[in-house]
């Protein structure tokens, strides 16, 4: 079985509602991500990448009414484009903003977006602290995957979304065992409320059990957040 047929079969296995154009672009993106001259992912096996990068990005979104009702999406700490680029391909009617502070990664994002002819993506090479000052209370929904612990990620995301907007954090099995304690503490400080946890599984991954944790912004976040660069990591809101 060639890689494209393998990809189509894996997407069918996850019951993802994708048309032919989306499937072709998602496959091409995975190939470009793996083969890009700068190392952007530790996952070099195509079968694992199809599940870990593409399926994991999309599974919890099709039944996610918070996301579905949002038009203006920001992906914080986009790295090589996961989940932002798969989301942009699968949901072309939504505007996707990718924020990444490392220039070589935003160069890669620009390359992928141009290669795939994605018209609904805007890329920002900025630290989140600087970006927040320009786009505070601007977005309907934010995403964050594999960036930091939940409380740290929430400090980065909360200032960006509107009141009554939502943040979705992609998390593994550790969230329900210990990480939720940190996120609950941060919610009280940032005016967020944990709205729902969408549980799902992906195959070919060390973290088979996955979840998307949805937070609702109940009031404006204090203007002192996010704090200056490095402080959220050194002094996380959820404690050590």
Q: What is the CATH number of the domain that holds 93?
A: 3.40.50.150
What's the Cα-to-Cα distance from 108 to each of 101, 125, 202, rounded to whole Å?
Answer: 12, 11, 26
Instruction: Determine if residue 239 is left, alpha or beta; phi over 0 gives left, psi from -120 to 50 gives alpha, anything else beta.
Output: left
Q: Residues near 203 by Cβ (< 8 Å), separated by ≥ 6?
A: 10, 13, 51
Question: Sign of the C-alpha dihedral, residues 30, 172, 83, 13?
Answer: positive
Establish if 239 belongs to a structural domain. no
Pairing of strands 121-125, 95-100: parallel
Using the structure block, give the residue that is written with the tokens 């996961």.
82
- For residue 188, the enclosing domain spans 3-234
Among the listed residues 135, 30, 34, 35, the one whose alpha carbon sits nearest the alpha carbon of residue 85: 30
Instruction: Read off the pLDDT of each residue in 32-54 and give the average, rounded to a whole number.
Output: 93
Tally of domains within the chain: 1
Establish if 183 belongs to a structural domain. yes
pLDDT reported for residue 167: 98
Using the structure block, give the residue that is written with the tokens 């995301």.
157
pLDDT reported for residue 159: 98
Checking if the pLDDT of 204 tops 80, the result is no
Instruction: Read off the pLDDT of each residue in 102-118 and give the average, rounded to a whole number.
Output: 98
pLDDT (tens digit, 9 = 90+) per residue, 146-200? 889 999 999 999 999 999 999 999 998 878 778 889 999 999 999 999 999 999 9
Instruction: Read off the pLDDT of each residue in 216-225 and give the average, rounded to a whole number.
Output: 97
Instruction: Read off the pLDDT of each residue in 84-97 and give the average, rounded to a whole number.
Output: 98
Separation of alpha carbons 182 and 175, rounded Å: 9
SS3 track for the chain: CCHHHHHHHHHHHCCCCCCHHHHHHHHHHHHHHHHCCCCCCCCCCHHHHHHHHHHHHHHHHCCCHHHHCCCEEEEECCCCCCCHHHHHHHCCCCEEEEEECCHHHHHHHHHHHHHHCCCCEEEEECCHHHHHHHCCCCEEEEEEECCCCHHHHHHHHHHHEEEEEEEEEEECCHHHHHHHHHHHHHHHHHCEEEEEEEEEECCCCCCCEEEEEEEEECCCCCCCCCCCCCHHHHCCCCCC
pLDDT reported for residue 1: 56
**Are the beta carbons of 239 and 185 closer than 8 angstroms?**
yes
């Amino acid at each position: 079985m060639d890689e494209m047929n393998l990809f189509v079969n894996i997407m069918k296995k996850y019951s993802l509602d994708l048309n032919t154009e989306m499937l072709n672009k998602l496959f091409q993106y995975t190939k470009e991500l793996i083969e890009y001259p700068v190392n952007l992912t530790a996952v070099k096996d195509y079968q694992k990448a199809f599940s870990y990068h593409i399926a994991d990005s999309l599974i919890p979104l099709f039944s996610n009414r918070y996301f579905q009702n949002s038009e203006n999406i920001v992906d914080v700490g986009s790295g090589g484009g996961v989940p932002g680029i798969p989301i942009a391909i699968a949901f072309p009617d939504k505007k996707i903003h990718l924020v990444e502070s490392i220039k070589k990664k935003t160069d890669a994002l620009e390359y992928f977006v141009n290669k795939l002819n994605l018209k609904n993506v805007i890329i920002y090479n900025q630290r989140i602290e600087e970006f927040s000052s320009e786009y505070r209370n601007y977005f309907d929904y934010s995403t964050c995957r594999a960036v930091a612990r939940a409380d740290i990620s929430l400090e980065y995301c909360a200032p960006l979304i509107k009141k009554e907007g939502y943040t979705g954090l992609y998390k593994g099995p550790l969230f329900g065992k210990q990480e939720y304690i940190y996120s609950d503490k941060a919610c009280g400080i940032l005016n967020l409320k944990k709205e729902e946890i969408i549980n799902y599984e992906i195959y070919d991954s060390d973290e088979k059990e996955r979840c998307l944790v949805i937070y609702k912004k109940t009031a404006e976040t204090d203007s002192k957040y996010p704090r200056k660069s490095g402080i959220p990591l050194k002094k996380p809101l959820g404690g050590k």
